[in-house]
Amino acid sequence: MSEGDSVGESVHGKPSMVYRFFTRLGQIYQSWLDKSTPYTAVRWIVTLGLSFLYMIRVYLLQGWYIVTYALGIYLLNLFIAFLSPKVDPSLMEDSDDGPSLPTKQNEEFRPFIRRLPEFKFWHSATKGILVAMTCTFFEAFNVPVFWPILVMYFIMMFCITMKRQIKHMIKYRYIPFTHGKRKYKGKEDVGKTFAS
């Protein structure tokens, strides 16, 4: 390997100006992502606002329906991954290799671990909306289609996919939404103290 052959290095062995710029830009982006992690509601409100702006843009331009359809399929795929457990219980039924969800009342409680965590779901959905918004600025992506067919096909796919997911959730008894730690009710305090 000769001098300057490695990625991002200039002839003198130091990183090039372009490489340093994009590295720094990536660090700033990651810093903003890290700072936004605890603000779940704000993140989702911004994403819903972006999707609303996208819908208004598509409505006003009266085009880019195929981009909207692709975005809908992508978001549906993300949502299904968000609802699914990391380890599929149907695959774990026959083997005892790893952890499984409890199926009986006397089994130990194991928390639901998602295949796609909430933060990655939000991040991917936001990036998808921004990519779709960018596509609406290019006429090449404005493929003429009869949009009612796409809407009906998307609704049909959504219903079939969600029906299958709900049946899977019922069959293997898991709920993808939990609200904090379970609280157990103990014995009531009668207020008497022990005197020695």
pTM of the predicted protein model: 0.73
Chain centre distance of CA 54: 19
At CA 153, angle to CA 152 and CA 158, rounded to 5?
A: 100
* b/e burial code for range 118-151 (CB count within 10 A of at least 16 → b): eeebbbbbbebbeebbebbeeeeebeeeebeebe
Q: Residue 192 domain-assigned?
A: no
Q: Is the dihedral of CA 46, 50, 53, 55 positive or negative?
A: negative
Q: What is the pLDDT of residue 1?
A: 47
Amino acid at 147: W
User: Tokens at residue 146, please?
Assistant: 């009869």
Does some domain include residue 193? Answer: no
- Average pLDDT of span 98-107: 57
pLDDT for position 56: 96
Mean pLDDT of the chain: 82
Is 138 a member of any domain?
A: yes
Q: Name the token pair of 15.
A: 């990183």
- State how far the Cα of 35 lies from the Cα of 109, in Å rounded to an integer: 32
Asked whether the predicted pLDDT for residue 95 surpasses 80, the reply is no
In which domain, by residue range, is 56 found? 18-90+112-172
* pLDDT higher at 60 or 95: 60
Q: Which two tokens stand for residue 150?
A: 């796409």
Domain count of the chain? Answer: 1
178 in a structural domain: no
Percent helix, strand, coil in the chain, to 5, is 55, 0, 40
pLDDT at 97 over 90: no
Crossing angle for the helix pair 118-135 and 65-83, to the nearest 10 degrees:
180
Q: Which of 42-51, 94-103, 141-150, 167-176 has the highest mean pLDDT?
A: 42-51
Q: 9 lies in a domain?
A: no
Token pair 């052959």 is found at 5
pLDDT digits (tens, 9 = 90+) for 114-157: 888 999 999 999 999 999 999 999 999 999 999 999 999 999 99
Query: 58 lies in a domain?
Result: yes
Of 139, 121, 118, the C-alpha closest to 129 is 121
How confident is the model at residue 25, as a pLDDT? 94
Is 65 within a domain? yes
What are the tens digits of pLDDT across the range 147-192? 999 999 999 999 999 999 989 888 877 777 766 556 656 566 566 6
pLDDT at position 43 over 80: yes
Report if residue 167 sits inside a domain.
yes
Phi, psi angles (nearest 5°) of residue 161: -65, -45
